[in-house]
Amino acid sequence: MKRIHIRLPILLTITLALSFVAIAFVLGQAIEQRFIEETQNQLSDEATFIGSMLEENDDLLDRVAGNGSTLMALYDEQGSLLTTTQTGENQVPIPDNVRITSASANQQNEHYLYTLVEVDLSSQGAYLFVGKLRDEVTAATSSIWWTILLLLGLALLIITFITVRITMHYSKPIESATRVATELARGNYKARTYEQFSGETGSALSQSINILARNLQKMVDSQEMQKDRLRTLIESMGSSLLLIDGKGSVNLLNKTYKETFYVDENELLYRNYYDVLEHQEVIHLIEEVFMTEKSVRKQMRLSLNIERKHFEVYGTPIIGEAKEWKGIVLVFHDITDLKKLENTRKDFVANVSHELKTPITSIRGFTETLLDGAGEEKELREHFLSIILKESERLQSLIHDLLDLSRIEQEGFVLNVSEVSLADVVQDTIDALSDKAGKKNIELFANSDEKNELSVKGDSLRIRQILYNLMNNAIAYTPEGGNVHIAIQSKESGVELVVSDSGIGIETSEIPRIFERFYRVDKDRSRHSGGTGLGLAIVKHLVEAHSGQIRVDSSIGNGTTFTVRLPNQFT
């Protein structure tokens, strides 16, 4: 489609040209007719004047012959040619006979415009012919026609030029605004049009278009910012999110949902939820929200590949401002860790209750027995009192370990860091446990790469506690006649304490659980040895407090090896 500043001048030029042609035709015809009439009147006046002069002098006709372009002739009363002023050989001949009317009149034929005037000559009556060639009249009218056409053509050119200039002046702002409007419709909100000076044609339109473009750009930028914020918020949520539209198709799922449920986005989007969701519990919740149009919250245990996780699923309907139904949003809060923590708390309470109940029951039972009269026998009384003392010591040890573990697990737990000689720690621990090992004929061995030089930064008391608990466990689970080895090894990034025994060993499946509170590999043997079930839990927390690591290698019947790695520099 041609632009407006081209179409409008062309249309106006064609209209003016047609109008000018019509005007030229009418005007030319009128001028031509008027010229002919003027010519005939002139001929009539000349004929009357010359006729009056001929009546006075018959020779006058010869003297005026050849003057001007007017031709004259005399005819008798019958219309026959008497004489003429025509002399040129190439001229159109004057007719030999003319039709004589009762009165003089303007007449014409195919060659002449003429008039006949009756004159009274001295010899006879005659008629004077005064005329002009039609070609001369036609030539004169043609020049008039060309003059009219030339003037009208010049006027048309001038008007067309002015029209083009005016049209371009007025159409440029419109075309510029049109182009900008087209770009805005395509989504290019950075498009702008040239703004004329205030008061110029189209300045208000250009300014309005630019204001509209700027407002649209601000609006779109604001929407894009809000969309980015919403997208970032959704993608950064720690909970899984699923959006279902009013027709039941999945419209949105965030990154957490894809990672948690191991799904591909392309397999779910724009498909019905009951075709793509695997868990019937979730489908039933969605259907419940659709039917009741109310929010629903449920806790679910869902199988995801090889694991089972606990979720608190919250489904709520999305209702528009006009109360129209738009869909459902589902939020999956992973509460697996909370469930594990809750179960751990329950197990801890149950284990503590059980561990406290056993010595208290024993103490109470033997005390009641003594009160019932058994205390009168010295041997029996001493035996019961020794059992009460032993159970009291066990109860005291359990309470001490619980308090110690509680202090270690607190955020404000602080180590008293100093330079610790590992050789001294090992020797002190061996001395402390030698009697216990001797009762079971268990030999304690210690060796070191550089026994007198190895040291670390740490809490001396806590490192002794780590080594004491490991060696105590090794003695407890090693049969009589066995042995326990303590080794100190220097490593590039620190020092390793290795405690190995020739005891009963641990099944591979149980190794991940031995650092849990109150967990025992052999419950009967451990309880008989007086253990509380908290020693390894304390060891693990103390090693981590020293920024260290602990590793266990064991198998049934081949003993157990605990390796504690402590860094050279405590951080």
CA-wise closest residue to 425 among 461, 469, 470, 473: 461
Beta-carbon count within 10 A of 440 CB: 14
Distance CA 120, CA 122 (A): 7
This prediction has a pTM of 0.46
Last residue of a domain, one of 371, 390, 406: 406
CA-wise closest residue to 426 among 451, 389, 395: 451
Query: In CATH, what number is assigned to the domain containing residue 373?
Result: 1.10.287.130
Distance CA 268, CA 137 (A): 97
Q: Is 456 exposed, middle or buried (0-12, 13-18, 19+ CB in 10 A)?
A: buried
Beta-carbon count within 10 A of 543 CB: 21
CA-wise closest residue to 112 among 143, 80, 72, 141: 72
- Listing DSSP states for 485-551 in one string gives EEEEEEETTEEEEEEEE-S----GGGGGGTTSTT--SSHHHHHHTT--S-HHHHHHHHHHHTT-EEE
What does residue 109 show for φ and ψ, rounded to 5 degrees? -135, -160
Question: Three-state SS string across 27-49, please?
Answer: HHHHHHHHHHHHHHHHHHHHHHH
> Listing from the earlier edge strand, what are the strands of the sheet with 325-334?
250-253, 240-245, 325-334, 307-319, 296-304
Element of type H or E holding 251: strand 250-253
Same domain, 419 and 508: yes
Same domain, 443 and 555: yes
Same domain, 435 and 346: no
In a domain, 380, yes or no: yes
> First CA to last CA across the chain, in angstroms?
79
In a domain, 386, yes or no: yes
In a domain, 30, yes or no: no
Same domain, 358 and 496: no
Same domain, 465 and 482: yes
Same domain, 318 and 444: no
Helices (H), 372-445: 378-409, 422-439
In a domain, 431, yes or no: yes
Same domain, 297 and 345: no
**565 with 491: CB under 8 angstroms?**
yes
Q: What is the full per-residue pLDDT of the chain (571 aa) written as tens digits?
A: 445 667 767 777 788 778 878 887 787 778 777 777 777 787 777 777 777 777 666 565 555 544 455 777 777 776 677 767 765 544 445 665 555 554 455 666 666 777 777 777 766 677 777 777 777 777 777 777 788 788 878 888 888 888 777 777 777 777 777 777 787 777 777 777 766 655 555 567 777 778 888 888 888 888 888 888 888 887 878 888 999 988 889 988 888 888 888 888 888 888 888 888 888 999 999 999 988 888 999 999 888 877 888 999 999 998 877 778 888 999 999 888 888 878 777 766 776 676 677 778 778 777 877 777 766 677 777 777 887 887 787 777 777 777 777 777 766 677 788 888 888 888 888 888 888 888 889 888 888 655 456 888 888 888 888 898 889 888 888 888 889 999 888 887 788 889 999 888 888 878 877 877 766 665 554 444 556 677 788 888 888 888 888 888 888 888 899 999 888 776 6
Query: In CATH, what number is assigned to the domain containing residue 250?
Result: 3.30.450.20
- Number of domains within the chain: 3
- Beta strand pairing call for 494-501 and 560-567: antiparallel
Same domain, 433 and 560: yes
**513 with 536: CB under 8 angstroms?**
no
Same domain, 418 and 557: yes
In a domain, 379, yes or no: yes
Which residues partner with 305 through β-bridges?
A: none
> Which tokens go with 475?
């003695």
**How many residues are listed for the chain in this entry?**
571
> Which tokens go with 211?
């204001």
**426 with 467: CB under 8 angstroms?**
yes
Last residue of a domain, one of 373, 406, 439: 406
In a domain, 43, yes or no: no
Same domain, 371 and 449: no
Same domain, 540 and 439: yes
Determine the 3-state secondary structure of 570 from DSSP: coil
Same domain, 528 and 550: yes
Domain encompassing residue 557: 414-567
Distance CA 501, CA 558 (A): 9
Last residue of a domain, one of 406, 425, 458: 406
